[in-house]
Structure 1
Amino acid sequence: MRFLRQSLIGVFLAAISLGLFVYAVFVVQGAIYQRLTEEPEVSPARERVFAVNLQRAESRTIIPVLESFGEITSRRTLELRAAVAGRVIELHENFEDAGRVQSGDILVRIDPAEMQAAVDRLSADLADARAEARDAGRALDLGRAEQEAAEDQVALRQQAYTRQVDLANRGVGTAAAIETAELNAAAARSTLLARRQDVARAEARIDQASTRISRALIALAEAERNLADTAIKAPFSGTLSDTTVVAGRLVATGERLADLIDPTDLEVSFQVSTAQYVRLLAPHGGLIDARVSAALDVTGVDVQATGVLSRVSAGAGDGQTGRRIFARLTHAPGFRPGDFVTVQIEETPLENVISLPASALGADGNVLVLGAEERLEVLPVTLLRRQGDTVLVRGADLEGRDVVTTRTPLLGPGASVRPLRQNAGLAEPAPQLLELSAERRARLVAFVQGSSGMPQAAKARVLAQLAEPEVPAQMVARIESRMGG
């Protein structure tokens, strides 16, 4: 009985489990059918609003600045060469690389003994030539006197002959007396001819003496020039470079001794493209009277120089494009030939142009402006210049509009935006200042004081700033970058 009761209970529980399983399958099947047949609930879509930075477009007159890189050169660079050969016996005390000399200083003196001997010898030759000229002059005077005496003799002999002929015509004279008088007259004329020849030879002797004097003067002048060339002087004040001679050395004619560079008369040469060169041309075809500034980065301080455009190269150069332009620097303290500088040239002012960030201009030449209901609109503009991170543009109906300063792929015409306007009246933020520790300040001061490439004026400015309680962080970073720290 107990087994039967337990069996019935098992069958009952199995029947209940099967019923519950069938019911569960039915419930799940109904839920799946209901899920497949019912329409999904769609939530209302919301339009995305983008926050954008805007800048008010205001037209004004702007002077574009063309930027390039150039090299400082000296307008006066002279190669010092030996005009005569000989032994160097004297050098200027500053005859060395970077030695400073003044105009008129004797830089190199070559042994003048041989040149002095030549001058003395030619001076003696000149004295001989002048003595010969004086002797020839005296001989000419004597010859002319003898010629005059011979002429008088001819006149007397001719008168005597005429008188004998007259006497013979009157029957008083004889034929022998006439022949004797005629022979005497002929002899006198022969003597006169000899005296004339003597005068001609004396005149030729004077001409030869004059020619000899001229040749002696030319030779003496050349010898004196050679003597003067033994002392090589500085034609202008400057700095010596590439010195190659020492005292006691034998130098040849034309040998290069050093270079003399004028560090105060400087210019900068830089390369520009053809399009940039066209913008620097005046209506008459020459360069415009543009202001030029050159900047040299020296240990945290930019050394500035100013100047004006002076000339342009005659050709583009082998393997180059564009034009090479030269600008004369009128005020360039601290610069030296060979410095690599950044050059900025002020172009002709542009009127009625708008300055915008470069990120505001799209690749299609359009900008996005704020329209009605705070939605964006596309406005075409004309690009005039690129100035670093800014562009200069013109566009119809652009004046007074709010322009998106930074474009992204998500922004386009019709997009709804939340404007963030920039306040153009705010001043530029002041440079960040640092309070230096005593050790750090001392290290910076020691580095600046030991810097040989920094001009004294720039060094004084940097030291004055380092002495302040707070120092600009940018300057500290630039100095430490050169320290390697």
Structure 2
Amino acid sequence: MRFLIRSFIGLALVLVALALLLAAAWVIRDATQPQQAEGGRPGQGAEERVFTAAVLTITPTEIAPILTAYGEVRALRSVELRAGAAGEVIWLAEGLADGRAVKTGEVLLRIDPADAQASRDLAAADLARAKAEADESTRALAITRDELTAAQAQAELRAQALTRQRDLLTRGIGSDAAVETAALAASSADQAVLSQRSAVSQGETAVALAATSVDQAAIALDQAERALAETEVKATFDGLLDSVTVGLGGKVSAGEVLAQLIDPGALEVAFRVPTAAFGGLVDDNGQILPLAVAARLDSGASALTATGRLIRAGAAVGSGQTGRLVYAALNDRPPLRPGDFVTLSIGLGPLSNVAMIPAAALGGDGKILLLGAEDRLESFDVTTLHRQGDALIIDASALAGREVIRNRTALLGAGIKVNPVRPDEGAALQLDQAQKATLLAQIRAATQLDDAERAELMKLVEQDRVTDAALRDLQTRLGG
């Protein structure tokens, strides 16, 4: 019984295998029958597939590339307002808070000046005392000098008397005792002169010491007056307050930071660019070029913009950093504030005989697809000069008038026939606020435009709708 069951199972498996083989043979026969019916080679009668692809005509022109970067706004001029003395805050300027505008020299707060005032008064009294002592020393020196003059006159008289006594003794009229008495008197007079000279020297020393005391007292008074003045905190320049931490009646210590003063009209942006792009920002000597910069802060439907110029580059790369650090100073009083993270558009030097194509037109092999004879594609190796967002600036010296595939896909390649779709030159496009802000920033940063051209392009961008041809012409002129 078991033998029969196994035999039937084996027979069933053989029948299933035969059925599968017959089905496969039938499928192969159906696939090859149409071609064999026509008597041709396999694949000869298959219809060629034609793909639809958008194309763009290349027109060599001059384009000023726009380098896009991102950076942080910083204050070029800021200062910490510190307490010059310790004590209690007894007065605050009205509305002293973050964001308050102040003027140069404006008093912002006062610290209790009682101790500083007392020190200043004591220093003034010490100076007056030192001046009085100096005057007294000067008068005493004058008297001592007069006494020296009198002693010198007395000594001269004594010397003359001695000479006369000696002359009398020589003629036999005088006596030795008279000569000796005259000599003793002359010696005493000379001793008196020496004593007065010593007194004059001491008087001169006293006058010098008194003058030094006056200078020291004057210095002490200046320090006391400075300490008194430091009980008032003043604005050192026109600006805005930030990080105000003081209140009326609060206790502060000497050197404590009370607020930060920022000049909103002196702002800069610090940003990094790739090392390869940094070469376009410097001259042959490695010095940064003063290229025009447009900064934009996107805020929903609107954007805050400002213009400026490159001013310097970082001295070192920095640990763990890549690229190059560059700084741009913003013009006038921009609507930006320190800490804003902005998008920068930097106008580079113009390039000739170039064209702008979508980045999607370039394949991974560095080639583009051109429309050739009978609408078949040709592969062409191009030189990419600059990458700008979703677009590429390429060398178009050998591509004048050729049409390039705008969006290269895996289905397209050399030899493939396509149905080209060309842009409607009259189609109108509506730009959103972000696109308008980007284009306006690029127009402001374009150094190759004069004032009339810049005004014309800005008027074009501000319209509700812009034709595709006008938009492409605008981007070509801007390089953006």
Is the shorter-chain TM-score for this pair beyond 0.5, marking a shared fold? yes
Q: Does 1:174 align with 2:175?
A: yes
- Find the counterpart in structure 1 of residue 279 from structure 2: 278
Give the CA RMSD over aligned residues: 2.4
Q: Distance in 2 between matches of 1:218 and 1:283?
A: 55
Runs of 4 or more, structure 1, over 3 Å off, are 425-428, 430-433
What do residues 216-256 of structure 1 show as CA deviations (whole Å, max 9, x unaligned)? 11111111111111111011122222222222222211111
> What amino acid is the match of 1:244?
T
- Find the counterpart in structure 1 of residue 159 from structure 2: 158
- Find the counterpart in structure 2 of residue 50 from structure 1: 51
- Find the counterpart in structure 1 of residue 357 from structure 2: 356
> What amino acid is the match of 2:421?
L
What do residues 55-91 of structure 1 show as CA deviations (whole Å, max 9, x unaligned)? 1111111111111211112112211111111221111
1:41 to 28, 37, 42: 37
8 Å CA contact retained: 1:90, 1:110: yes
Q: Does 1:102 align with 2:98?
A: no
8 Å CA contact retained: 2:264, 2:334: no
User: Could you tell me how far 1:207 is from its partner in structure 2?
Assistant: 0.4
User: Could you tell me how far 1:386 is from its partner in structure 2?
Assistant: 1.3
> What amino acid is the match of 1:285?
G
What do residues 242-294 of structure 1 show as CA deviations (whole Å, max 9, x unaligned)? 22222222221111111112222211111212112222112221111211111
Q: Distance in 2 between matches of 1:320 and 1:99?
A: 37
**Per the alignment, do residues 426 and 61 of structure 1 end up closer, same or farther by CA in structure 2, a change over 3 Å counting?**
farther
- Find the counterpart in structure 1 of residue 429 from structure 2: 429
- Find the counterpart in structure 1 of residue 124 from structure 2: 123
Identity %: 45
**Per the alignment, do residues 331 and 426 of structure 1 end up closer, same or farther by CA in structure 2, a change over 3 Å counting?**
farther
**Per the alignment, do residues 413 and 325 of structure 1 end up closer, same or farther by CA in structure 2, a change over 3 Å counting?**
same
Q: Distance in 1 between matches of 2:428 and 2:308?
A: 28
Q: Distance in 2 between matches of 1:180 and 1:379?
A: 133
What do residues 19-45 of structure 1 show as CA deviations (whole Å, max 9, x unaligned)? xxxxxxxxxxxxx9xx99x99403833
Moved more, 40-49 or 194-203: 40-49
SS of equivalent residue, structure 1 residue 253: coil
User: Could you tell me how far 1:334 is from its partner in structure 2?
Assistant: 2.5
User: Could you tell me how far 1:54 is from its partner in structure 2?
Assistant: 1.7
- Find the counterpart in structure 1 of residue 371 from structure 2: 370
- Find the counterpart in structure 2 of residue 93 from structure 1: 94
Q: Distance in 2 between matches of 1:268 and 1:121?
A: 51
What do residues 344-367 of structure 1 show as CA deviations (whole Å, max 9, x unaligned)? 111222121111111111111111
Q: Distance in 2 between matches of 1:412 and 1:238?
A: 62
- Find the counterpart in structure 2 of residue 382 from structure 1: 383
> What amino acid is the match of 1:296?
L
- Find the counterpart in structure 1 of residue 444 from structure 2: none
Q: Distance in 1 between matches of 2:154 and 2:427?
A: 118
Q: Distance in 2 between matches of 1:248 and 1:112?
A: 13
- Find the counterpart in structure 1 of residue 293 from structure 2: 292
Q: Aligned ranges for residues 182-261 of structure 1 at < 5 Å?
A: 182-261=183-262
8 Å CA contact retained: 2:60, 2:396: no
Q: Distance in 2 between matches of 1:420 and 1:297?
A: 35
SS of equivalent residue, structure 2 residue 205: helix
SS of equivalent residue, structure 1 residue 429: strand
Q: Distance in 2 between matches of 1:380 and 1:321?
A: 30
> What amino acid is the match of 2:288?
L
SS of equivalent residue, structure 2 residue 272: strand
- Find the counterpart in structure 2 of residue 135 from structure 1: 136
Q: Distance in 2 between matches of 1:395 and 1:65?
A: 18
- Find the counterpart in structure 1 of residue 456 from structure 2: none
> What amino acid is the match of 1:362?
G
Q: Distance in 2 between matches of 1:72 and 1:331?
A: 14
**Per the alignment, do residues 97 and 396 of structure 1 end up closer, same or farther by CA in structure 2, a change over 3 Å counting?**
closer
User: Could you tell me how far 1:432 is from its partner in structure 2?
Assistant: 8.2
Q: Distance in 2 between matches of 1:353 and 1:123?
A: 79
SS of equivalent residue, structure 2 residue 415: coil
User: Could you tell me how far 1:323 is from its partner in structure 2?
Assistant: 1.8
What do residues 341-398 of structure 1 show as CA deviations (whole Å, max 9, x unaligned)? 1111112221211111111111111111122232221111111111112111115631
Moved more, 216-225 or 247-256: 247-256
8 Å CA contact retained: 1:306, 1:332: no
**Per the alignment, do residues 69 and 209 of structure 1 end up closer, same or farther by CA in structure 2, a change over 3 Å counting?**
same
Q: TM-score, normalised by structure 2?
A: 0.79
8 Å CA contact retained: 1:380, 1:395: no
- Find the counterpart in structure 1 of residue 421 from structure 2: 420
User: Could you tell me how far 1:430 is from its partner in structure 2?
Assistant: 3.2
> What amino acid is the match of 2:294?
S
8 Å CA contact retained: 1:267, 1:327: yes
Where do 5+ consecutive residues of structure 2 fail to align? Answer: 1-25, 434-463, 466-480
- Find the counterpart in structure 1 of residue 23 from structure 2: none
Where do 5+ consecutive residues of structure 1 fail to align? Answer: 1-31, 434-469, 472-485
Q: How many equivalent pairs are there?
A: 401
SS of equivalent residue, structure 2 residue 429: coil
8 Å CA contact retained: 2:59, 2:396: no
Q: Aligned ranges for residues 60-79 of structure 1 at < 5 Å?
A: 60-79=61-80
SS of equivalent residue, structure 2 residue 386: strand
